[in-house]
A and B are shown apart, each in its own frame.
Chain A
Amino acid sequence: MAFRSIGAGGRAEDGGEDSRGGGAGSGKLSFYEAAPDEEISLEDFEEYALDRLRVLKGIEEERSRGKKMEEMDPLVSDLWRKHMGSDSSKKDVISHFILRLAYCRTEDLRRWFLGIESVLFRHRFRCEMPAAQQKLMDDCNLPYKAMTSAEIEAVKENLESVARSTNQVSNSKMYYKVPFEDVPELVSGRKVYLRRGEAFVPREQLSFLVVGQFRSRLSKALVLTNRKWISFIAGEEKDRLAPMVEALSTRYLGPDYTQPKSSNEISLQDLDQLAKASFPLCMRSLFFQLRDDHHLRHGGRQQLGLFLKLEDALAFWRAEFSRKVGVEKFDKEYAYNVRHNYGKEGKRTDYTPYSCVKLIMSTPGVGDHHGCPYRHFSEDKLRASLGGLGLNSRQVSSALEKTRSQHYQLACAEVFEAVHGCSSDGINHPNQYFEQSRALLQQPKVKQMCSFSFNDTVEFFSQEEPASGGENNNNDANEEKTTLMIS
């Protein structure tokens, strides 16, 4: 398909020459100014997009682990090489433009894409040779003036002072005069010398300038693309490209939780303790809400239901709901939905459990309890919930700080660490949290190493029978025996 009609962010419709699609003379890093004018197959269309998405998600995951800038540089290079190959400028440009389509449609999607592409750009820029960096700056007509040596001499002491205050070596020969508005990160951190509204930026920190430009251009382009997309899909591409593009932005690329990896067969009685010990906060809240209220609205049912993947879920849900709405009403109104989720009705698709990104982006309304608690709970409620998990006030504060800066998954990882005493491998999916938790708790030596913050788990580990509900196996035909497979 040809990109011409939809790709460009407001530039000339004729797409332009092939080499321009690559931008800077080196043929590598560019500002993606012009849409590519190529034909590619539909398979390539999808594959290129997915590969780039893997890079972006990989970056997101590394950042969610709190990696510093210098540590990220090699990681990004590796990710890029792995998914995009080494001779990749064509794939680079095409995949970027495809993802623009996928991520231009809502404010949240745009914000995410803008953020992560800027990070990718920043690291790729940092790894470029100085000559290439300079060329990129020149090519894109960055409006910043280099300072003359006389000017630099006049403020030399101050420049050195700034460098020392931020533990940097100040052997820079080149400085640029930049309006302070263009380098908010440097201003925030007092990493630059300011005078009468001008920031004197050394060469080493050029990446901030360039990334800033990249970011603002991409931001405008995304808005434009969105407008064009709306008129575009109304027409020809409704059934062909549109579904594929729209699916790209919600696609989860991590480990596949559709198939159960190993059957962790646990009976219903253990579910409560399991929930207390190993459920992430999002599922725990829903689960106990269900227990308390014997009811959940649709969003909550979806989220919890897909997470639990009960083999014979019907009995579980019926047991809970019937306390409130009665068995008949449940059978009439809710049963279909439960069965639908597990592929027993209708399209018979097995839905995948929601990833963290999906939960964070959901919009629970009044009376709903789903979503990501680190995003959707009020600070008070979150504080109370975390206290209920047994966190001390320092741990709670630490997690709250992360949520305030919108690092919801980092907050969840912090809580994981506080609860289990060991750090996680990063949290991208509720089932991942659960799996890691089970792995930790089931290791016998873990008992000595990790410190547990609440007493319930002691009971969980003891050799005695669980306090609530009788033996686990062979007896009591009256009890609803439901095997639970948590995938």
Chain B
Amino acid sequence: RLFVDGKHPSCDSSFFGRREFSFTLENDIYLRYMSFRDASEFEATVCEKRPQKIDIGAVYSVDPAKRLAYANVSNDRVFAPVEKELVFDVDMTDYDDIRNCCSGADICLKCWPLMTIAIKVVDSTLREDFGFDHILWVYSGRRGVHCWVCDARARKLTNEQRASIADYFRVYKGNENNNRKVSLPTHLHPFLARTYSQFLSRYFDEEILIKQSLLHPQENADKVLKLLSGEGMSMQYMSSVYSELPVQLEEKKRNNTLLPDKINRQRWADLQRKLMQKRGIQRELVFTYTYPRLDLEVTKKMNHLLKAPFCIHPKTGRVCVPIDPADCDNFDPTTVPTLPEVLVFRLKHVNSSFSSVSSCSMI
């Protein structure tokens, strides 16, 4: 049972009624263009239809449920989106080519830092560069995060402006054959330079390198070196980097201070030394392994629907709880409450008034 008040301060009374919702029912039945007069009508319909998933769309010029009444009017502007939060979607499957721990829908604490980085980079940029303040981050329930920018200025953005913001974040020049090619100029834009020095290189060194064990064992190191060998670095050079590593490995073995962490760090240090002259390449490597991978299409269009916060994810049962960007290093997706846990909690605390599901996140 949710109590949702979908209003922004100082909006008119028709605002909620013109908001589009969509329900996904059992058997993948998808109902779009739903709208409700107020929270109680919303609640009643949710209880009646029991959707597995609720998505939130834009606020339109007329109630979406009544749009057909205007269908005869020739002007194609009559039923059109008027406002919509600026949204971002980060999905862990987009990082599959650089994850060594999981793939597909699985996530764990070794790859979750990638999401942490995404949150920090996007959140700070939205505030510092674009001047937004009212930003909500939400766990998507399974393998990613969503971002809702609710400033009035954000809600009024056109599709073109949203696309320009999405492109501002884009560093991957993708095509069919090569989706994840990072392409950076020699001298970075202040936003990218700041992102690199404040977040990316730090997280790479402290989190990604170690948790993903990028350079140990051999198969993992191979993947990294393969990326580099595509950079016009000759095979002889690469194999010379390569052959040095086992030598040092032997030395460490003799000291018996062998630990994967140390191996990774040692190798990375060696690699950095080798790449000294080609600092651009080292930087691109770090970007490839840390920079946020956004689903840009989600951001670009006003008519895109995104899952509502506080929903229950149909496949995992987890509640889509908010994430505090200032504290996202401590967010643990594996301990997010599931629906059964919530129900149990409620049963135990019958007396407490359950007026907002946000208290869930404090469990």
Which residues of chain A have a CB within 8 Å of any CB of chain B? 107, 158, 161-162, 164-167, 180-181, 184-185, 187-190, 193-198, 393-394, 397, 400-401
A-contact bits for B150-163, CB 8 A (1 contact / 0 none) = 00010001101101
Tell me which residues across on chain B come within 8 A of A161, comparing CB atoms.
187-190, 193
Q: Is there a chain A Cβ closer than 8 Å to B167's Cβ?
A: yes
Q: Are B168 and A181 in contact (CB under 8 A)?
A: no
In the bound complex, do residue B164 and residue A397 qualify as a contact, i.e. CB atoms below 8 Å apart? Answer: no
Contact B177 A397 (CB under 8 A): yes
Selected interface stretch from B54-62, B114-122, B129-137, B266-274: B129-137
Closest 7 CB pairs of A and B: A197-B131, A184-B164, A196-B131, A188-B167, A194-B129, A187-B164, A164-B187
Residue pair B176, A393 in contact (C-beta under 8 Å): yes
What residues of chain B lie closer than 8 Å to A162, measured between beta carbons?
Answer: 189-190
**Chain B, Cβ-Cβ closest to A158:** B190
Complex-state Cα separation, A276 to B189, whole angstroms: 49
Interface residue? B185 (CB, 8 A): yes
Q: Tell me if B197 counts as interface (CB < 8 A to partner A).
A: no
Q: B165 contacts the other chain (Cβ, under 8 Å)?
A: yes
A170 to chain B, nearest CB (A): 11
Please state if A194 and B175 are interface contacts (CB–CB under 8 Å).
no
**A184 with B130: in contact, given A162-B189, A190-B168, A401-B175 (CB under 8 Å)?**
no
Give the CA-CA distance A181 to B128 in the complex, in Å: 15
**B76 contacts the other chain (Cβ, under 8 Å)?**
yes
Q: Is B70 an interface residue (CB 8 A)?
A: no
Q: How distant is the Cα of A212 from the Cα of B132 in the complex, in angstroms? A: 23
B3 at interface, CB cutoff 8 A: no
| CB closest chain-A residue, reference B127 | A196
Residue B191 at the A interface, CB < 8 A? Answer: yes
| C-alpha gap A198/B192 in the complex (Å) | 17
User: Which residues on A sit within 8 Å (CB–CB) of B192?
Assistant: 190
Determine whether the beta carbon of B165 is less than 8 Å from that of A187.
yes
Q: Which residue among B132, B187, B188 has the maximum number of chain A CB atoms within 10 Å of its CB? A: B187
Q: Would B76 and A190 count as touching, CB distance under 8 A?
A: no
A185 to B165, CA, bound (A): 10
Name the B residues within 8 Å of A188 (CB-CB). 163-164, 167-168
Residues in B neighbouring A185, C-beta threshold 8 A: 164
Name B74's closest neighbour in chain A (CB-CB).
Answer: A230
Residue among A107, A166, A187 with most chain B CB within 10 A: A187
Which residues on the A side are within 8 Å of B193 (C-beta)?
A: 161
A189–B171 alpha-carbon span in the complex (Å): 10
When distances are taken between beta carbons in the complex, the residues of chain B under 8 Å from A165 are: 185, 187-189
**Contact A394 to B177, CB < 8 A, known contacts A161-B193, A181-B157:** yes
B residues within 8 A CB of A164? 187
Q: For residue B151, which residue of chain A has the nearest CB?
A: A197
Q: Is the CB of A193 within 8 A of B190?
A: yes
Q: CA A162 – CA B192 in complex, angstroms?
A: 10
> Once the chains bind, are A198 and B190 in contact (CB under 8 Å)?
no
A181-B161, A196-B128, A197-B131 are known contacts. Are A187 and B168 too (CB-CB below 8 A)?
yes
Partner of A187, one of B158, B167, B176: B167
Q: Is the CB of B132 within 8 A of A197?
A: yes
22 cross-chain CB contacts under 8 A: A161-B187, A161-B190, A161-B193, A165-B189, A180-B161, A180-B164, A181-B157, A184-B160, A184-B161, A187-B167, A188-B164, A190-B189, A190-B191, A190-B192, A193-B190, A194-B130, A194-B191, A195-B131, A196-B131, A394-B177, A397-B176, A401-B175
